[in-house]
Amino acid sequence: MYPEFFVAPMREELTRFGIEELRSAADVDAAMKRPGTTMVIVNSVCGCAAGKARPGIAMAMEPRCRFTSLS
C-alpha cells in the first residue's frame, strides 16, 4: 500500500467531483444495492489514471451526466 500522503491528492481529485469513496466490501455492497444507475470508479496512482481516467471522469460529471449514484 502507498502512504496516505501519496494517495490523498488522487483521492481528493475524485471526491471533489462528488464521488463517494468506498473503502470496504460492505461499502461496495451497499452502493450496488441502491436503485438507479451507479458508476463505480477504481482509482489508481498510475499515470494512466492521472492522464486519462480521472480527467475522463471529470468530463462524465458535466451537467449532462445521468448517474443516480457515484462511487
Catalytic center residues:
46, 48
Question: Are the C-beta atoms of residues 21 and 15 closer than 8 Å to each other?
Answer: yes
